[in-house]
Structure 1
Amino acid sequence: MGKCLPIPYAKKLKQFLNLNDDRVSMWKGEHCAVIRDDILALLNEGGVSRQDIVDESNSTVRIYIYLELLLKKVRENDYVFFPINHFNGMHYTLLVLNKQSGWWEHYNTLQTKLNIYVDPYFEDAKKLHVKISDYFKHMKDSISRKLNENSICKHIMKSDKVHTLLYTLSHDDREFLMWLRQTNVEYPLKANISCLQQFPNIYDCGVAMMYIAQKKADGELVECVFSAEAMKNMRAHVLCRFINEGDGSWEKEE
């Protein structure tokens, strides 16, 4: 798979792996990091590791941080992608808001492999959809109060703790609330029954979700069948992003 990388990226990757130091991250974000084992899994076509941002154990207040961001993304983008990790890393699916169609769509690459009446992955997606919908409704119902009081609560994470702070409405806050007042954000959920299906006993479900998201974000049609070449190229694309992701890359920390 490493042969799919452009030469400059392959050289940087080799330098990182030659460090042979598990304490050094290839990429580090605010809430998660990509370590040597993650890189080796991508190279060796293994499973994508799991670093939860929101899960069932998170408090409602903690989840609000991400729902606040999500609602703003709904305003700014035609698509919003929400990956879901199921059963402690056993499978990934993708929840996609398509504003043009007015639907949340659930993509599951093991859809046809489940010889049962109820799809447990879709049931998980429905629970998440309820949380998102309830939050959107809560925000719409409180618009008048926020405008009258000229204030808005925002949730900020510092040192892994959530702080709820009251802010005076900014110009952007007012524009956002006015947009929300005029916009229907009650998007129903459905399963995408034409979702590409993967072969059983392979580790590409996480990569496949990224592949579907990338294709839709680029306005391209998603093929009817996953090709091995497409998955290798997607893994290479992800590696390149981590290698060259600005301040989060390992070279910037040296």
Structure 2
Amino acid sequence: MTSNEKVAVITGGSRGIGRAITLKFAAAGYQLVLNARSALDAELVQAIEDLGVTYLFVQGDITAADTADRLVKETFERYGRLDVLVNNAGITRDKLVMAMSVEDFQAVVDVNLVGTFRVTQVAFKKMLRQRSGCIINLSSVIGQHGNMGQANYAASKAGVIGFTQSVAKEGAMRNVRCNAIAPGMIETEMTAVLKPSVKEAIMTQIPLQRFGQPEEVASAALFLAENDYLTGQVLTVDGGMTI
């Protein structure tokens, strides 16, 4: 099957890393189903159309019980199949543990981990019946090593890694693969708010001496989608930060 016959579902596909993944898969010829909490902007829509692929937009919060059902249902109504699921939607609520409320912790876990579970569970059932499919979950180097002020985020992203490996084992017998990407410091809205002094301090920990670009994470996602012998892996895209 060629790329232009394949369908990729991308959550959080309108901004940052998700936007780059959307455009990378569109450029590779995938038909797209995009999910985000807010409407797609005109610039992204035009870029997708210019690349000659079709898209479906399913608006909704992945923490809502019906969003995953609608997302997968409408994918099959439109395209009749689901080849790649990219679980990219995520949030942060950074605070030191002593200042973090249960609500701060729960909100991040609900989106980053439980939301990933919700969408995966519905898509996974369809992929098992198809006897094919690829799931790509966005984790983080923070989930591998922790970070001050991000206990909630670290816990959610570490959970994504364990979840990914379990799904990989369950899906393997029916040719359904599941991998994760652990980005390091990537230039997005999330890192744009950092003070220059903080960025400089972080840069000293990165052997390649720069922050990554969303497109570099997107390239990793496409690689995982198209390599049929990779499953249960965590691909770290961090400029060597975790060496």
The verdict on a shared fold, with TM-score over 0.5 as the criterion, is: no
Name the TM-score, length of structure 2 as normaliser. 0.29
**Taking structure 1 as the reference length, what is the TM-score of the superposition?**
0.28
Query: Larger relative contact order (C-alpha < 8 A, sep ≥ 6)?
Result: 1
Name which one, 1 or 2, has greater alpha-carbon Rg.
1
